[in-house]
Amino acid sequence: MEAVAVLGPLIEPFEAEFMRTGAAAAVIVGVLCGSIGVLVVIRGMALLADSFAHGVLPGVAIAVLLTTANADPSQVAVLAGGLAGGLVTAAGTALIRRRSGLSDDTAAAVMFVFMLALGVVLISRVSNFAVDLTAFLFGDVLAVDAGELPLTAALAALVLGAFALLYRPIVLTTFDRRRAAAAGLPVDRVELATMILLAFAVVIGFRVVGALLVLGLLIAPPAAAAMLTRRLPTMIAVSAAIAAASGPLGLLVSWHFDVAAGASIVLVAVGISIALIAVRPRGRLG
């Protein structure tokens, strides 16, 4: 009985089905973002990840506009729209940079602010439907339908599988694109593939923690993992584990303190990261 008394606050919240479904979705997204996030950190793509996250908004809004007749928007359309939005943002950023000669961060900022504003405008247009801006920006992990889980899991598995297949080409290209080219790699295509993997992670992740906070799951767990290990494969595994654990832990925080779920998940992930950066137990895991 004592065990139950201690564990009660940890277990009871998950007796509700929406909490179990939400936790499952958060774990899937955590593993995905925690793994792909390592690429963001080692390649220094945080700004690009952020612009993808903003870029999904108009894509999702258009998908909702097109598929919402009377019923709920189609999840497949939302994913496709989000992905298209992310890729348009990436392409637009590259185009602005090339034509203007402005720096990477300026070009990315111009593009993602545009996409964010466009998204908000479009969403305000469709707000009479079953969509609201808060859910877009901050996620709605507790509203995830159990029926969505298989699709989310399948997509996450697909992205992680592609990452595993491309692991060496991506690491080699990150190490030095000239060296990668000498090894016979089409480096431009490898870099494009890296961006597409990132876009997928953002689109799959934004449903759970929202477009504004998905960056937290992409950056904080790898940063925390980097404090624990100096080996890349271990770093990916540790990062995925931290991000996955942040899901249920964040939901517990959300339940007991009656605060927003998605933001709680990100707070836990960032909290772990900050704690480890403060302690710096570097290299403990080898």
Given the rule CB under 8 A, which of 37-45, 53-61, 103-111, 248-256 is the region that contacts another protein?
37-45
Should residue 169 be labelled a site residue for another protein when binding is judged by CB under 8 A? Answer: yes
Q: How far is CA 226 from the centre of its chain?
A: 18
Stretch that binds another protein, among 17-25, 48-56, 143-151, 175-183 (CB under 8 A): 175-183
Alpha helix positions (H), 129-183: 133-138, 149-165, 167-175, 177-182
Considering the complex, state which of residue 14 and residue 167 has its C-beta at the smaller distance from another protein: 167
CB 33 within 8 A of CB 200: no
* Residue count, binding to another protein (CB under 8 A): 29
Interface with another protein, residue 226, by CB under 8 A: yes
Is residue 185 a contact residue for another protein (CB under 8 A)? yes
Contact 235, 226 (CB under 8 A): yes
Q: How far apart are CA 233 and CA 120, in angstroms?
A: 39
Is 182 a binding residue for another protein by CB under 8 A? The answer is yes
CB nearer to another protein: pick between 98 and 230 = 230
Candidate list 98, 178, 189, 256; residue touching another protein; CB under 8 A = 178
Q: Which of 110, 120, 162, 232 binds another protein (CB under 8 A)?
A: 232
Measured distance between the N- and C-terminal CA atoms of the chain, rounded to whole angstroms: 40
Enumerate residues 75-114 that contact another protein by CB under 8 A. Answer: none
Q: Which of 123, 143, 127 is nearest to 207 (CA)?
A: 143
| Binding of another protein by 189 (CB under 8 A) | no
Task: Return d(Cα 31, Cα 239) in angstroms, integer.
Answer: 8
Chain-centre distance of CA 124, in angstroms?
24
- Based on the shown chain and the rule CB under 8 A, indicate whether residue 165 belongs to the binding site for another protein: yes
Site for another protein contains 117 (CB under 8 A) = no
**Beta carbons within 10 angstroms of residue 83's beta carbon:** 23
Q: Which residues contact another protein (rule: CB under 8 A)?
A: 41-44, 165-169, 171-172, 174-179, 181-185, 187, 226, 229-232, 235
